[in-house]
Structure 1
């Protein structure tokens, strides 16, 4: 994508701001300085929380921000789970931890407890990656312009190694990597590096990866959007025909990234947008939107449901919370080169054509190495619809010669159907989360927790209630 005078002016301003940064202290020091006493508005809890920076890069010029919460009970016996959000450029801390599967949700001036937090089952580590996302930053302004998948994977590996120096008690712990959306690139690429590193010297006790509504193969994932929208009554028959034949979504994005959108794609997309309307959230087509936040809503987030009550404006609460100075002090965080914290970065210029890199072959290699893989889909997401993901996993199982070990069936959370699942070779699994959005733990937290627990334990999803 070409530069503009506006972008040049912004980059120059950021460069000036970055000159005045103080960089984090040596990350190999004790984790004690990163311990959080209490977050503003938080009720007392029995588990420990930590937040701070880990430097990466050859000259340690970049700093990735993390938030780590120990398990609610018996943390010494629970696994370590890393969570990545996607984007690329969206915050694993603000989106993942504080609006999806962490222990707290901002609500006005307080934090309310999430009864379905994933730290009931594991020690959870959330990483804002790459530099330029959330509170993560770089001394070098050019880092925001040329970030790509390969470097992100290397730096996530460097982060993990240095984080484990800071928290040595977790070095030999069972390790799981989880996340969603563009983490369908981050996670397989990181897992592949961990497996390669272990061939040289055993470093990581990787036990499994789980990918929610992941981008794994550009064409299959994105082109399934047309059928999904049509089947949910969002677009008309005639629009479906031209959306699936004349200008597929993958073609439209390719043309957009290259700055040369054809007239037919302009017509198709304008028709889709008109029929869908801005009052339907493409990340969850069945849930209401936050009227006061439609612009932000269209970027990444979708409404959440906690214990039956839907708060469709929770993303506003999260942004407001993370922009409070007392919250930033409690988190040991700083705003570097930006005036405010954002759920998805406005300064990161990621190599967008990396979106076309297929990661399905990496999943095959990971499975061959003996690491279990779970792909799950919130079934109300039109961005990375379940139909594309299900097709991909079925095709991968066939290529790997894996037989079906659990035929396609329902699974239960409580006394209701939580979704559907199918397992291949007891090592490759697909599951849907019924009623789930693109961020399934966000909209269906109880069902997502049931799935997460089964994944950690290596057990089939409940067949009965």
Structure 2
């Protein structure tokens, strides 16, 4: 006997457990606009208060089993929305043209219970009634609020309280993810929480300004994006500890000169995935904004028809911007009225000192704490490239347990390369850009699933 898809989905819907608290029930998404049929899992979104003045917005997509790990995803920026991850990278749906959604068969909620958090307050739908917060926020406050969010989320969804908990993210998530992990480890040690944190996975992670900036220049040169003369000019004239993400300061005229030449030599490429096309716009892009907002593809206005990478939609963030501002979508997702959603916040003025700070002391503390840590890197990202990541990993001075070797994806191809250190695993993802789960969805799901099970060594 063959069941129809509609009957099967109805049966699955009836079999779902009812929300465990009134707050969870109020956050349930009954019907998400743009879908041709209801999903076979429950979805929730809403606000969790993390202080008297700040409420953080989240989107939660259940996995196939409530006992599977609970996984928090944090996009970077600093100041960019994790709904970008939820609806244009690794979540259950991709935003499409004209307010549509398409299913992502490689969504991470096929193997875990996923939560996407808009953080800090001022990003996406997350809010603060104290406007001073937007100009003073940095890594410490962001980590503290993430800790409070996790505690509040587990109170709202107590069925996950004993589950393995993981933190994941990308780009400036290189600060957010280990920072949140350290806040949870310290809170657990004080007895203020009992969160079953197993570890984290973080990709193309902005971690040490000097090494990531230097690695970017090395990558541009070795991938034929810049000339020998320009590379040498950058290396000779830039103080990599004192500039923002690949962007000089007013005091560094010589550095700025060569960075400007570098940009002209590259042309209008997609710096987040150098072999995919740009989303072209009739209006000139602000290149400085692109480079400053790590992990944010700039919203543009016209689709590219000559894209040589068929599965890569360079204008997906256009679609997401439109979708998240539809009144029907905001109503369905329990958004407070009068909110305009943007991929990256224009009100959050994140701490520049924190952006330039090193996360190596945090990694060293987390190695001591015994967390499982996975750093991954798409190898065709040119904004926080693999070269910079290898630079700062060397600074940790960890012993190699299993040497550099290829890993195999579920289709039998070389998925990338990995090395296991004493306390941390590093792997590359072949032919993936800055947004690894979007560029290489199958490979990303392969290593993510293996990482949650402690089976990365078997890839």
Q: TM-score range by the shorter chain?
A: 0.7 to 0.9
From the superposition, tell whether residues 84 and 169 of structure 1 become closer, same or farther in structure 2 (CA, over 3 Å). same
Q: Does 1:230 align with 2:221?
A: yes
Q: Structure 2: how far apart are the matches of 1:200 and 1:166?
A: 22
From the superposition, tell whether residues 348 and 82 of structure 1 become closer, same or farther in structure 2 (CA, over 3 Å). same
Q: Does 1:66 align with 2:58?
A: yes
Corresponding residue to 1:34 among 12, 27, 35: 27
The answer to whether the 8 A contact 1:372-1:428 is kept is: yes
The answer to whether the 8 A contact 1:374-1:429 is kept is: yes
Aligned to 1:96: 85
* 1:157-182: CA deviation from partner (whole Å, max 9, x where unpaired): 11111111111111111100110111
Aligned to 2:18: none
* 1:322-373: CA deviation from partner (whole Å, max 9, x where unpaired): 010100001111366x6x3110111111111211221122112112111111
Aligned to 1:411: 407
Alignment of 1:153-172 (within 5 A): 153-172=143-162
From the superposition, tell whether residues 273 and 254 of structure 1 become closer, same or farther in structure 2 (CA, over 3 Å). closer
Q: Does 1:424 align with 2:418?
A: no
Displacement after TM superposition at 1:437 (Å): 0.9
The answer to whether the 8 A contact 2:216-2:246 is kept is: no
Displacement after TM superposition at 1:460 (Å): 2.4
Aligned to 2:389: 389
* 1:400-446: CA deviation from partner (whole Å, max 9, x where unpaired): xx3x2321111121122110000023x41000011111111111111
Corresponding residue to 2:449 among 443, 449, 453: 453
Q: Structure 2: how far apart are the matches of 1:295 and 1:38?
A: 36
From the superposition, tell whether residues 286 and 233 of structure 1 become closer, same or farther in structure 2 (CA, over 3 Å). same
Q: How many residue pairs get matched?
A: 421
Q: Does 1:182 align with 2:172?
A: yes
For the aligned residue pairs, the C-alpha RMSD in angstroms reads 2.3
Q: Structure 2: how far apart are the matches of 1:266 and 1:370?
A: 42
The answer to whether the 8 A contact 1:252-1:265 is kept is: no
Aligned to 1:319: 321
SS in 2 for 1:51: strand
Alignment of 1:95-244 (within 5 A): 95-108=84-97, 109-201=99-191, 203-244=194-235
Q: Structure 1: how far apart are the matches of 2:243 and 2:174?
A: 21
Segments of 4+ moved more than 4 angstroms: 254-257, 302-305
264-273 or 76-85, larger mean C-alpha shift: 264-273
Alignment of 1:280-319 (within 5 A): 280-292=269-281, 295=285, 298=290, 300-301=296-297, 309-319=311-321
The answer to whether the 8 A contact 1:255-1:261 is kept is: no
240-249 or 60-69, larger mean C-alpha shift: 240-249
The answer to whether the 8 A contact 2:165-2:199 is kept is: yes
SS in 2 for 1:30: helix
TM-score scaled to structure 2, two decimals? 0.87
* 1:95-129: CA deviation from partner (whole Å, max 9, x where unpaired): 11011100101112321001110001100011000
Q: Does 1:437 align with 2:437?
A: no
Gaps of 5+ in 1: 1-27
SS in 2 for 1:361: helix
Displacement after TM superposition at 1:55 (Å): 1.1
From the superposition, tell whether residues 188 and 295 of structure 1 become closer, same or farther in structure 2 (CA, over 3 Å). same
Gaps of 5+ in 2: 1-20
Corresponding residue to 1:47 among 20, 41, 50: 41
Q: Structure 1: how far apart are the matches of 2:383 and 2:335?
A: 32
